[in-house]
Amino acid sequence: MGRRIILTIIVAFCLMVGASARADEISATHVVEALHASLLEMMKNADALGFDGRSAHIAPVVMRSFDLPIIAVMATGEKNWQTLSEAQKEQLVGALERLSVATYASRFNGYSGEDFRTLSEDPGDQGTAYVSTELIQGDGGTILLKYLLHPSDKGWRIVDVIFLGVYSELAMRRSEYGAVFQREGFDGLLAALDQKAADYAAGLLK
């Protein structure tokens, strides 16, 4: 992720909270490792929990790990975001939360000996931090997961996940959501997010 995008994230955050951000004593690495620990617990009990149980398990973890308002701003585009009412902004953040929860509950639906390993924490631009990790699969293969976190007034929060060192989840969301917003407006984007969450719940998406 380039310097300009990271700077835009920080600027968007300042616009939303109207104050300088700070991190509390919990490190960026701790936030990521707590997320991974919760995911492993959910995976090990996936069958007993079912989709609804996995959703209930991971929902509060998503809320305390990710900065969903910032992600919503960046995913929809600042210009689009500024056209929304406060009520619409809240609806969009809520839809993004539901989709994030449904995605995790759907994808982490079993356990075959997987584990997570933290590789490093490195400083990024404008006070951000990168936490590099890998998902160790049951067969010994690994998937690189790199988290971008920023220091919010609630502590470190994740704003992007980069898969395999290349694919930015935030960039993919920006491309997809921005296109839907331009074609169908706010109502269309909200409906698309809720439909995608429903498709994960129904097992139509993985």
For 151-203, write each residue's pLDDT tens digit.
998 999 999 999 998 999 999 999 999 999 999 999 999 999 999 999 999 99
- Identify the band that residue 116 occupies on the pLDDT scale cut at 50, 70 and 90: very high
Indicate whether 141 pLDDT > 50: yes
**Is a pLDDT exceeding 70 seen at residue 16?**
no
**Is residue 3 predicted with pLDDT exceeding 60?**
no
**Cβ proximity of 106 and 201 under 8 Å:** yes
CA 126, 15, 8: angle at the middle one, nearest 5? 40
Would you give the DSSP letter of residue 153? Answer: B
DSSP-based three-state secondary structure for 158 = strand
* Number of Cβ within a 10 Å radius of residue 88: 15
Q: Supply the pTM of this predicted model.
A: 0.87
Buried b / exposed e along 152-188 (16+ C-beta atoms within 10 A): beebbbbbbbbeeeeebbbeebbeebbebbeeeebee
**Residues pairing with 121 in the sheet:** 131
Euclidean distance between CA atoms 56 and 176, whole angstroms: 27
Tens digit of each residue's pLDDT (9 = 90 or more) over 125-138: 999 999 999 999 99
DSSP secondary structure letter of residue 137: P
Per-domain boundaries in the chain: 3-201
Give me the pLDDT at residue 147, please: 98
Q: Give the residue, 10 or 60, on which the prediction is more confident.
A: 60
The CATH number of the structural domain formed by 3-201 is 3.10.450.710
Residue 206 is predicted with a pLDDT of 81
For residue 113, what are its two tokens?
């000996």
Kindly report, residue by residue over 51-99, the tens digit of the pLDDT.
999 999 999 999 999 999 999 999 999 899 999 999 999 999 999 999 9
Alpha-carbon gap, residue 132 to 120, rounded angstroms = 5
Average pLDDT over residues 133-146: 96
- pLDDT value for 8: 52
